[in-house]
Amino acid sequence: MTTPTTAATLPVVSLTDCADPNALARQSARIGALFGATPTVLPLTGPDPEGAAALTLLDLLRATGLTGGPALPVVILVNIAPRDGHWPNGVPFCYFRHNGHLVITTASHRVLAPVAEYLGLEEVRVTDVREVLEAAAADWAELSAAEVEEVTRTQFRSLWYVPLLARWLVDERPVPSAPLAVERPAADGVRVAVVDNFGNCKLDLPATELPGYRSGQELRVRNRREDREVPVRCYDRLPDVPLGEPGITVGSSGTGFAELVVRGGSAAEVFGLRQGDRVFHLIS
The per-residue pLDDT for range 21-37, each reduced to its tens digit, is 999 999 999 999 999 98
Q: Is 2 domain-assigned?
A: no
Give me the CATH number covering residue 95. 3.40.50.10790
**CA 176 centroid distance within chain:** 24
Q: Which of 155, 181, 207 is the last residue of a domain?
A: 181
Q: Cα–Cα distance between 280 and 229 in angstroms, integer?
A: 10
Judgement on whether residues 207 and 164 belong to the same structural domain of the protein:
no
User: With 60 as the cut, is the pLDDT of residue 264 above it?
Assistant: yes
> What's the mean pLDDT when you consider all of the chain?
91
* Same-domain status, 171 and 54: yes
Over its C-alpha atoms, the chain yields an Rg (Å, rounded) of 21
Question: Quick count: other Cβ atoms within 10 Å of Cβ 72?
Answer: 16
The pLDDT score that the predictor gives to residue 1 is 29
- Of 162, 181, 200, the residue at which a domain comes to its end is 181
Which of 114, 146, 181 is the last residue before a domain boundary?
Answer: 181
In a domain? residue 13: yes
C-alpha dihedral (127, 131, 133, 134), degrees to nearest 10: -160
17 within domain boundaries: yes
In a shared domain, residues 126 and 33: yes
Tell whether 125 and 159 lie within a shared domain: yes
In tens, the pLDDT along 120-156 reads 999 999 999 999 999 999 999 999 999 999 999 998 9
The per-residue pLDDT for 4 is 42
Residue 106 and residue 148 in one domain = yes
CATH of the domain at 214: 2.40.30.90
pLDDT confidence bin for 188, thresholds 50/70/90: confident
Q: Which domain holds residue 258?
A: 190-280
Is the model's pLDDT at 89 over the cut of 70? no
Percent share of the chain, pLDDT over 90: 82
Q: Are residues 102 and 234 in the same domain?
A: no
- Same domain, residue pair 99 and 12: yes
In a domain, 162, yes or no: yes
Same domain, 41 and 165: yes
Out of 17-31, 84-98, 158-172, least confident range: 84-98
Residue 77 included in any domain? yes
For residue 250, pLDDT over 80 is answered with: yes
- Output DSSP code: residue 9: G
d(CA 22, CA 24): 6
Q: Give the count of domains, the chain.
A: 2
Output 1 or 148, whichever has higher pLDDT: 148
**The pLDDT of residue 78:** 98
Q: Average the pLDDT over each of 12-16, 83-87, 101-105 and give the range with the smallest value.
A: 83-87
Give a yes or no: residue 1 inside a domain: no
Q: pLDDT higher for 8 or 156?
A: 156
- Do 144 and 201 fall into the same domain? no
User: Are residues 47 and 99 both part of a single domain?
Assistant: yes
Q: Is the pLDDT of residue 83 over 60?
A: no
- Band the pLDDT of 8: cuts 50, 70, 90: low
Q: Are 177 and 40 found together in one domain?
A: yes
For residues 200-220, average pLDDT: 94
Residues near 183 by beta carbon (within 8 Å), at least 6 away in sequence: 109, 113
Residue 70 maps to a domain: yes
